[in-house]
C-alpha cells in the first residue's frame, strides 16, 4: 500500500502545482477567479513567488521562473515579454502579466498528468507475462493443494485434519500476491519518477524496449548543440584596437538589434562584464548588417559577402570557416576584425555519448548541415559516425538502412519533418518543446533537449526492466522451494512448514517485491 501510495503521491504533487485561484485582469480591476474558469485570451497577473495558473505568453514584465518540477531543469529560467511560460512553474521576484494560450484542461501540466496516468494504466508485454504467470500460479496452487490433500488422506493414510492442514498451507504459500504486484509497482514507480525528471513515457512497451537499443541517431541543432548562436572566437586586425574593445563596440550596436546573431554577441559581452558605450545613428543595412557611431567613429558589422563586394581589391584572405557564422567589424571604413559565432555544442553532449559508449551503444549524427560541420561535431564528441546533408524524407531511409543490418534504432527529433522517422524507429524520442506531431508520433517525450537525458532514459529503461525481472523471479522462484516443503516432502525428517509460517513467507515475498520496486532510482 505504501509503495502504491508513494507512486500516486508523485502524480498528486503534479496536480497540486496549479493554484486553485488566479488573478484575472479586467481593465484596471484584479479579480480572483477559479483557475478552472480561465479561457484562452484571458489576461492574468502572476505575483512574485506565486505558481503560474495556466500556460500563456508574457504580455508585460520580466522574471526568473522555477520549472524544475515540470521539466527537471534545476536552474531558474529567465522569462520576459513575448515568451511562453508553463502553468505550474513558480514565479521569482518579478511581477508578470500573462495572456492565457489555452484553458487549464489543455495545459502542458494537464497533458503530462494524463500521459502519466495513461502510462501507469497501460499493460506492457512484461505486465501481460506477469498476469499470465499469476493465472498459471493460481491454477498450480489449487491443483497442488488438492493433490497434497489426496496424497496425505488416501495414500499416506494421515488424518483428515493433517491432510487439510497441508492443503491449506500449500494454497496459502502459492498465493500469487507478489506476482500480481511485481510489475505494476515498478511501472507506477518508474512512470512517476520519469515525469518528475522530464521523461514522459507515452508507450510502456517502447520504454521497456529502450534496453534493446544498439544505435541512437541524434539530431544536431538543439539536441547536441545549444540551438542558438554563441561567440566562439573574436579577433582584431588593428594594433591600436584590442579584441575586447572590438567586441565591446559590436555589442553596444547589436543590443539594439533583434537578430539571433546580435543576441550571441551581446551575451558574450555580458559574460565578460564589458560596458556598453553610447551609440548614435543606429541603422540596419538590409541583408548586410548594422551600423552606428561610437566615440565619433563609424562602426559597421557586416557579412563576408559585404566585405567581398566592398573590398574587391583587398589582399586580405577572408577569415571564415564553413562551420561558423562570421561577422566583420569595420572601423571608419577599414576592416578591423572579426567575430565568429557558432551553434555551440552542449557541455552535456560529450558525457551523453560517453555513457552510451560505456553501454556498448553506437551514436550517429543525423543532420541536414554540410559534411564539414557534421564531421566537426561528430569528431569533437567522438561519435561513431554521421549522416550529413540529409533531407527530411531521407531520415526514414537512413533508419530503415540501419534496421536492415540488424540494428535496434532509437531516433531523436523535434520537428514536424521528424515524425515519419520517429514512427519508423524502434524507439522514437521527441526532444525539447518540439512539435505536436513529433510528440504524437514518439513513444517517449523528453521535456528538455538535454542529450544526457537520452542516455539516462536508456539506462533507466534497463534498470526498470531489471527490477521487473528481479520481482518476477522472486515472486515465482521462492515457490519452487516453499511448495515442496509445505507439501511435506521432508516430513519423515521432521521438516515441515506450518500454515502460519506459510502465511509469513507469502507476506514476506510481497514485502520484498514492494521494497525492490521502491528502490528504483532515475
Q: With b meaning 16 or more CB within 10 Å and e meaning fewer, what string describes 467-481? A: bbebbbebbbebbee
- Shared domain check, 242 and 158: no
Domain boundary among 344, 359, 393: 344
More confident residue, 129 or 303: 303
- Shared domain check, 389 and 331: no
- Shared domain check, 334 and 230: yes
- The SS3 assignment for 428 reads strand
**pLDDT value at residue 417:** 59
- Shared domain check, 351 and 272: no
Whether 118 has a pLDDT exceeding 80, the answer reads no
Element (H, E) at 451: helix 451-487
- Shared domain check, 350 and 206: yes
Domain boundary among 437, 457, 477: 457
Domain boundary among 55, 74, 102: 102
- The SS3 assignment for 37 reads helix
Nearest to 333 by CA among 238, 472, 460, 206: 238
**pLDDT value at residue 11:** 52
Residue 13 lies in a domain: no
Nearest to 196 by CA among 74, 97, 80: 74
Nearest to 219 by CA among 451, 522, 444: 451
CA 499/CA 503 separation, integer angstroms:
6
CA 362/CA 406 separation, integer angstroms:
13
Average pLDDT over residues 45-60: 89
* Range of the structural domain that residue 430 is part of: 199-224+346-457
- Range picked from 167-171, 270-274, 476-480, 491-495 for highest mean pLDDT: 270-274
Residue 264 lies in a domain: yes
Element (H, E) at 444: strand 444-446
Average pLDDT over residues 491-516: 80
In contact, 410 and 456? CB cutoff 8 Å: no
**pLDDT value at residue 17:** 65
In contact, 431 and 219? CB cutoff 8 Å: yes
Q: Which letter does DSSP use for residue 369 in this model?
A: S
Q: What are the grid coordinates assigned to 522, written together?
A: 532515475
CATH number, position 27: 2.70.150.10
- Range picked from 99-108, 427-436, 458-467 for highest mean pLDDT: 458-467
pLDDT in tens, 170-209: 888 777 777 777 777 887 788 778 877 778 777 777 888 8
Average pLDDT over residues 352-372: 86
Q: Give the pLDDT band (50/70/90) at residue 503.
A: confident
Nearest to 226 by CA among 381, 326, 69, 348: 348
Residue 278 lies in a domain: yes
Q: Give the pLDDT band (50/70/90) at residue 75.
A: low
**Average model confidence (pLDDT) for the chain?**
81
Residue 2 lies in a domain: no
- Shared domain check, 241 and 271: yes
**pLDDT value at residue 1:** 55
Nearest to 468 by CA among 124, 176, 139: 124
Q: Give the pLDDT band (50/70/90) at residue 445.
A: confident
pLDDT in tens, 387-434: 987 876 688 889 999 999 999 999 987 755 577 788 888 988 887 655
- Shared domain check, 376 and 240: no
Nearest to 303 by CA among 325, 336, 322: 325
Q: Give the pLDDT band (50/70/90) at residue 293.
A: very high
**Cα 75 from chain centre:** 15
Q: Give the pLDDT band (50/70/90) at residue 383.
A: very high
- Shared domain check, 379 and 274: no
Q: What are the grid coordinates assigned to 490, written together?
A: 521432508
Residue 114 lies in a domain: no
In contact, 168 and 144? CB cutoff 8 Å: no
| Number of domains within the chain | 4
Matching residue, cell 545613428: 281
Active-site residue, selected from the candidate residues 55, 60, 118, 219 = 219
**pLDDT value at residue 369:** 65
Whether 461 has a pLDDT exceeding 70, the answer reads yes
- Shared domain check, 230 and 150: no
Alpha-helical regions (H) of 320-450: 347-358, 371-380, 392-404, 419-424, 436-441
Q: Give the pLDDT band (50/70/90) at residue 168.
A: confident
**pLDDT value at residue 132:** 76
In contact, 242 and 212? CB cutoff 8 Å: no
- Shared domain check, 367 and 311: no
Sheet of 77-80: strands edge to edge? Answer: 77-80, 62-66, 90-91
Helix 260-271 and helix 243-254, axial crossing angle in degrees, nearest 10:
130
- Shared domain check, 354 and 210: yes
Q: Which letter does DSSP use for residue 22 in this model?
A: E
**pLDDT value at residue 224:** 84
In contact, 359 and 454? CB cutoff 8 Å: no
CATH number, position 256: 3.40.1110.10
Of 270-274, 322-326, 337-341, 481-485, the one with minimum mean pLDDT is: 322-326
CA 420/CA 423 separation, integer angstroms:
5
Average pLDDT over residues 205-225: 84
Q: Quick one: what percent of the chain has pLDDT higher than 70?
A: 83
Active site residue 60: no
**Neighbour count for residue 494 (Cβ, 10 Å):** 6
- Shared domain check, 252 and 239: yes
CATH number, position 354: 3.40.50.1000
**pLDDT value at residue 195:** 76
Amino acid at each position: 500500500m505504501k509503495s502504491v501510495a508513494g507512486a500516486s503521491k508523485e502524480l498528486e504533487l503534479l496536480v497540486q502545482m496549479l493554484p486553485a485561484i488566479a488573478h484575472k485582469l479586467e481593465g484596471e480591476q484584479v479579480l480572483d477567479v477559479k483557475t478552472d474558469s480561465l479561457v484562452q485570451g484571458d489576461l492574468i497577473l502572476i505575483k512574485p513567488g506565486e505558481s503560474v495558473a495556466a500556460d500563456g505568453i508574457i504580455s508585460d514584465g520580466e522574471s526568473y521562473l522555477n520549472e524544475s518540477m515540470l521539466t527537471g531543469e534545476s536552474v531558474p529560467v529567465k522569462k520576459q515579454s513575448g515568451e511562453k511560460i508553463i502553468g505550474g512553474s513558480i514565479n521569482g521576484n518579478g511581477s508578470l502579466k500573462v495572456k492565457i494560450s489555452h484553458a487549464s484542461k489543455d495545459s502542458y501540466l494537464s497533458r503530462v498528468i494524463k500521459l502519466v496516468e495513461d502510462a501507469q494504466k497501460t499493460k506492457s508485454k512484461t505486465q501481460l507475462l506477469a498476469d499470465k504467470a499469476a493465472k498459471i500460479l493460481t491454477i498450480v496452487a489449487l491443483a497442488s493443494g488438492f493433490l497434497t490433500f489426496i496424497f496425505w488422506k488416501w495414500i499416506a493414510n494421515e488424518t483428515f485434519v493433517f491432510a487439510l492442514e497441508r492443503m491449506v498451507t500449500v494454497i496459502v504459500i502459492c498465493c500469487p500476491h507478489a506476482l500480481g504486484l511485481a510489475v505494476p509497482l515498478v511501472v507506477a514507480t518508474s512512470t512517476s519518477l520519469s515525469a518528475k525528471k522530464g521523461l514522459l513515457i507515452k508507450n510502456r512497451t517502447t520504454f521497456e524496449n529502450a534496453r534493446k537499443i544498439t544505435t541512437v541517431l541524434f539530431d544536431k541543432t538543439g539536441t547536441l548543440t545549444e540551438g542558438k548562436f554563441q561567440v566562439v572566437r573574436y579577433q582584431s586586425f588593428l594594433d591600436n584596437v584590442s579584441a575586447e574593445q572590438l567586441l565591446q563596440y559590436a555589442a553596444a550596436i547589436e543590443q539594439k538589434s533583434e537578430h539571433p546573431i546580435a543576441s550571441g554577441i551581446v551575451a558574450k559581452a555580458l559574460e565578460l562584464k564589458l560596458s556598453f558605450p553610447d551609440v548614435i545613428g543606429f541603422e540596419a543595412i538590409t541583408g548586410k548588417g548594422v551600423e552606428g557611431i561610437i566615440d565619433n567613429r563609424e562602426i559597421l558589422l557586416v557579412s563576408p559577402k559585404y566585405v567581398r563586394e566592398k573590398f574587391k581589391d583587398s589582399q586580405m584572405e577572408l577569415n571564415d570557416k564553413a562551420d561558423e557564422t562570421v561577422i566583420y567589424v569595420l572601423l571608419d571604413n577599414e576592416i578591423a576584425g572579426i567575430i565568429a559565432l557558432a551553434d555551440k555544442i552542449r557541455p552535456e553532449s560529450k558525457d551523453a555519448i560517453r555513457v552510451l559508449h560505456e553501454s556498448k551503444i553506437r551514436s550517429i549524427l543525423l543532420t541536414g548541415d554540410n559534411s564539414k560541420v557534421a564531421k566537426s561535431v561528430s569528431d569533437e564528441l567522438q561519435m561513431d559516425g554521421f549522416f550529413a546533408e540529409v533531407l527530411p524524407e531521407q531520415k526514414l531511409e537512413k533508419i530503415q538502412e540501419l534496421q536492415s543490418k540488424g540494428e535496434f534504432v532509437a531516433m531523436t527529433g523535434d520537428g514536424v519533418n521528424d515524425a515519419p522517422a520517429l514512427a519508423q524507429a524502434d524507439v522514437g524520442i521527441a526532444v525539447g518543446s518540439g512539435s505536436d506531431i513529433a510528440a504524437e508520433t514518439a513513444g517517449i517525450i523528453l521535456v528538455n533537449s538535454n542529450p544526457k537525458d537520452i542516455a539516462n532514459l536508456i539506462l533507466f529503461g534497463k534498470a526498470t526492466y531489471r527490477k521487473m525481472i528481479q520481482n518476477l523471479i522472486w515472486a515465482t522462484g521462492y515457490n519452487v522451494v516453499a511448495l515442496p516443503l509445505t507439501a511435506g516432502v521432508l516430513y519423515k525428517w521432521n521438516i515441515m512448514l506450518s500454515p502460519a509460517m506459510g502465511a509469513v513467507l507469502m507476506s514476506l515475498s510481497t514485502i520484498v517485491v514492494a521494497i525492490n520496486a521502491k528502490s528504483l532510482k532515475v
